[in-house]
Amino acid sequence: MKAPLVEIQDLVVRFKGDRTVHAINGLDLTLQQGETLALLGESGSGKSVTLKTLLALLPPKRSEVEGGIAVNGTDVRKLKGKALQKYRGGEVSMVFQDPGLALDPVYTVGAQISEAVMRHKGVSRDEAMSTALDMLRRVRIPSPERRLKNYPHELSGGMRQRVMIALALACRPRLLLADEPTTALDATVQIQILLLLRELQREFGMGVIFVTHDIGVAVEVSERIAVMYAGQIVEEGTTSEIINNPRHPYTQGLLAANLHDVARGERLNAIPGAPPPLEERPTACSFAPRCPIAGPECRASLPDFVTLAPRRRVACFRALEAAAAE
């Protein structure tokens, strides 16, 4: 097997300020080349912080990071200056919910994409502009020649999202990080963008980590799902394993809430209770206060992962007991 594209080992991220926030509390994650993984979890579970850590985007003075983060064998925590610039946008790209975070309002679409291509690929302006045009075609923007000359504000929301994807993929990154890129869009445009991302992922053979709190989106885009809770992964497996046979009570609750709300035409959520405050690093199962099957051991110590099959794991004392009793 080839070396993994992403290897995160025992990642810990704390934010300092008036109070400390323990955002990531010992996270291990492996993504193989060309694989698509959804990070699924409620708001505040640490999904975005995980992506930002992979891009070395955390505020250095206000955050503390421990653990190993390697992308294609590169130690991301050691990257600085030019090497970091080359890594961001060249090796790894990110798309956001708000294209305004990626697109500069004062430059045309063509100028922005071609500038990135020139910087990362060292090609001429003409060559970079023809790559920009090719990318606009690939993301199926109507009248791409004309759009090259548009400014971001002259485009619709769905089109801006497509331009952001064109910009993110123009330098053919090995890894795409996607932070809820379709959440703000209406349902029809959302599905078009998800299908487009899936198609481009296959065509370019990229690895993708897709952050979402929406199980429907995770199923649409990913081969694998890692469920996050309070800065830790609590369960991981193939999408079909997670959907058809969830083992962690949190995943089970998330699925039940989603299906219930989807059936009523509403958005997800609604496991009773709230995620824990992140003021201290957890020393017991963080989900225990909300868990319908928690026992004394769950409130006393941290559960280790139980490996159910290769790359199929769950961090729960009771999961196997519950499964055996079914």
Please name which of 57, 132, 124 lies closest in space to residue 87, comparing C-alpha atoms.
57
* Window 62-81: residues binding ligand ATP (CB under 6 A): 62
* Window 213-242: residues binding ligand ATP (CB under 6 A): 213
Whole-angstrom distance between the N-terminal and C-terminal Cα of the chain?
36
**Look-up: residue for tokens 């009248």?**
143
In angstroms, the CA 299 to CA 78 distance is 37
Residue 21 binding ligand ATP, by CB under 6 A = yes
Closer of 227 and 308 to ligand ATP (Cβ): 227
Stretch that binds ligand ATP, among 1-9, 15-23, 186-194, 264-272 (CB under 6 A): 15-23
Neighbouring residues of 188: CB distance < 8 A, sequence distance ≥ 6: none
Shortest separation between residue 216's beta carbon and ligand ATP, angstroms: 15
Closer of 23 and 316 to ligand ATP (Cβ): 23
* Window 129-148: residues binding ligand ATP (CB under 6 A): none
Amino acid sitting at position 178: A
Shortest separation between residue 284's beta carbon and ligand ATP, angstroms: 19
**What residues form DSSP beta bridges with 237?**
225
In angstroms, the CA 273 to CA 212 distance is 20
* Window 285-324: residues binding ligand ATP (CB under 6 A): none
Quickly list DSSP for 158-182.
HHHHHHHHHHHHTT--SEEEEESTT
Among 2, 19, 59, 106, binds ligand ATP (CB under 6 A): 59
Shortest separation between residue 226's beta carbon and ligand ATP, angstroms: 12
Measured over the CA atoms of residue 248, residue 253, residue 254 and residue 258, the dihedral's sign is positive
* Window 37-56: residues binding ligand ATP (CB under 6 A): 41, 43-49
Shortest separation between residue 52's beta carbon and ligand ATP, angstroms: 8
Among 11, 23, 92, 234, binds ligand ATP (CB under 6 A): 23
Phi-psi bin for 73: left (phi > 0), alpha (psi -120 to 50), beta?
Answer: left
Taking every pair of Cα atoms in the chain, the longest distance, rounded to a whole number of angstroms, is 67
Closer of 21 and 166 to ligand ATP (Cβ): 21
- How many residues interact with ligand ATP (rule CB under 6 A)? 15
* Window 191-210: residues binding ligand ATP (CB under 6 A): none
Shortest separation between residue 206's beta carbon and ligand ATP, angstroms: 21
In angstroms, the CA 301 to CA 182 distance is 38
Q: Which residues bind ligand ATP (CB under 6 A)?
A: 15, 21, 23, 41, 43-49, 59, 62, 213, 278
